[in-house]
Structure 1
Amino acid sequence: MTTGIVARDSYYERTGEHTYKPTAHAGGAWQTDEQHFSPLAGLVVHAIEQHLADRPGNLTLARISYDILGRLALDECEIAVETVRPGRTIELLEATVVINGRPVVRARAWLLASLDTSSVADSPHERLPAPEELTPWAMDEEWNGGYVSSIDVRRMPPSRRGRAAAWVSSPLDLVAGEPSTTLASYIALVDTANGVAVQQDPTAWMFPNLDLTIHLHRQPRGPWTGLDTTVTFGPTGQGLTSSVLHDIDGPVGHAEQILTVRPL
């Protein structure tokens, strides 16, 4: 009889220096043979941090914006990272995700120098109730896919359609056998926002997001990602998901997602 550490489940497995294979846990909510964008967003941050791993300096990710260019098939993806604007105090990086030979995501990340501004740190946003104060929500009863089935969601009772606050965590590793930073693991849960405060029944309406932009005024702590979310539908097929982002210590930033709203 042999004993040892049992490997944890993960969203991705590394297949090469810059390539990753998604597992079934990365399956999407709209189509189960596609990737949910949430873990892929975290994987992009993981790749960016590896790109920066051997670099000296004290730069912190302050904004990352993703444009979703095409179908996110549940297939092997390659992530290339390049420096667009180098600098000691401000730097701009770009990451491109390629699946089946086609670019499907482009992301740009602004890195800013870390300074001590604790004496003026402040935010007008109230803290969310702690995760343990909220009731678990079976999100997979309303949404499909391996990703939704993998996460622990604690949601406040929605006050109205399109308005909810929730905490999200995951017991899975981002990449099998590799440590991930708190930041990458945190961002890997942010795209869940579009499903926690729905405006309309997703069996009657589609409202996938075409992008995700995250601004951070503070680096988050894990393991919970807090989403104080508002979803707005306009009259001509566009929508917007807006979230104040939290960790257990309070607000850390904002996230915005533009939606294409279509009847099924």
Structure 2
Amino acid sequence: MTTGVIARESYYERTGEHTYKPTAHAGGAWQTDEQHFSPLAGLVVHAIERQLAERPGNPTLARISYDILGRLALDECEIAVETVRPGRTIELLEATVVIAGRPVVRARAWLLASLDTSPVADSPHERLPLPEELSPWAMNEAWNGGYVSSIDVRRTTPPRKGRATAWVSSLVDLVADEPSTALASYIALVDTANGIAVQQDPAAWMFPNLDLTIHLHRQPHGPWTGLDTTVTFGPTGQGLTSSVLHDLDGPVGHAVQILTVRPL
């Protein structure tokens, strides 16, 4: 009789030096044959950090802004990372995700030198209730896709329309047989925000985000991503999802997503 460690499942499998194949766990909420942007956002950070690991120094990612340029097909993707503005204390990188020969995501990341500012560290945002204090929410009853089915969500109940507090975690690895940093794994859950504080029934209205911008004043750690989220719809087809981001030690930053709102 033989025993062994059960292999963990993943959102992506590496197929080359810069290429990755999504698994069914990366399936999207609007279309199941598309990628959910949340794990792809984490994969971009994973690719950036792999490149940074080959260089001296220890820069800190303080902001990353993603623009979604096209359909995120559930197909192999290639991620290229280049330096836009080099520097020892401030640096700007750009990552481009290509699927089937077309750029589908461009992300720009500001890196800052790490300094000791702990004597003045402070935030006016209060800590969220701990995950064990909130009720589990079966998010896959409201949303489709492999990604939604892969996560554990604890949400305030009852949520108000367009307003919710939630914790999100996942037992699915970002890349198969490949360690990911706490930052990449944390960011891989942030885009969930647009689905936790539902403003309108997603069976009647479509409101996908076109971008995601994350600002961090502290480097987060897992295994939980905390989202204190507000969703606002405007009168002319635009919407906004904004979140205060938390880990178990308190607030770590903010995330904002612009939405295109239209009836189904």
Normalising to structure 1: TM-score of the pair?
A: 0.99
Counterparts of 2:157 and 2:98, CA distance in 1 = 39
| 1:226-245: CA deviation from partner (whole Å, max 9, x where unpaired) | 00000000000000000000
Q: Which amino acid aligns with 1:25?
A: H
After superposition, where does 1:106-185 map in structure 2 within 5 Å?
106-185=106-185
Matched residues, percent identical?
Answer: 90
Counterparts of 1:7 and 1:34, CA distance in 2 = 25
Counterparts of 2:159 and 2:6, CA distance in 1 = 42
SS at match of 1:191: helix
Q: Report how far residue 58 of structure 1 moved.
A: 2.3
SS at match of 1:199: coil
Q: Which amino acid aligns with 2:253?
A: G
Determine the structure 2 residue equivalent to 1:103.
103
Is the counterpart of residue 199 in structure 1 residue 199 in structure 2?
yes
Q: Which amino acid aligns with 1:218?
A: R
Question: Which runs of 5 or more residues in structure 2 are unaligned?
Answer: none
In the TM superposition, structure 1's runs of 4+ consecutive aligned residues that sit over 6 Å from their partners are none
Counterparts of 2:209 and 2:147, CA distance in 1 = 16
Determine the structure 1 residue equivalent to 2:222.
222
Counterparts of 1:210 and 1:2, CA distance in 2 = 49
Are the counterparts in 1 of residues 159 and 197 from structure 2 also a CA contact under 8 Å? no
Determine the structure 1 residue equivalent to 2:15.
15
Are the counterparts in 1 of residues 85 and 92 from structure 2 also a CA contact under 8 Å? yes
| 1:86-127: CA deviation from partner (whole Å, max 9, x where unpaired) | 111000000000000000000000000110101000000010
SS at match of 2:135: coil
Q: Which amino acid aligns with 2:219?
A: Q
Are the counterparts in 1 of residues 207 and 260 from structure 2 also a CA contact under 8 Å? yes
Q: Report how far residue 6 of structure 1 moved.
A: 1.6
Is the counterpart of residue 57 in structure 1 residue 26 in structure 2?
no
Counterparts of 1:217 and 1:65, CA distance in 2 = 15
Q: Which amino acid aligns with 1:10?
A: S
Are the counterparts in 2 of residues 158 and 165 from structure 1 also a CA contact under 8 Å? no
Q: Report how far residue 160 of structure 1 moved.
A: 1.9
Counterparts of 2:198 and 2:137, CA distance in 1 = 14
SS at match of 1:82: strand
Give the number of equivalent residue pairs. 264
Q: Report how far residue 5 of structure 1 moved.
A: 1.6
Q: Report how far residue 3 of structure 1 moved.
A: 2.5
Q: CA RMSD in A?
A: 0.7
Counterparts of 1:105 and 1:3, CA distance in 2 = 42
Q: Report how far residue 158 of structure 1 moved.
A: 4.3
Counterparts of 2:34 and 2:179, CA distance in 1 = 25
Q: Report how far residue 157 of structure 1 moved.
A: 1.6
Is the counterpart of residue 242 in structure 1 residue 238 in structure 2?
no
Determine the structure 2 residue equivalent to 1:33.
33
Question: Which runs of 5 or more residues in structure 1 are unaligned?
Answer: none
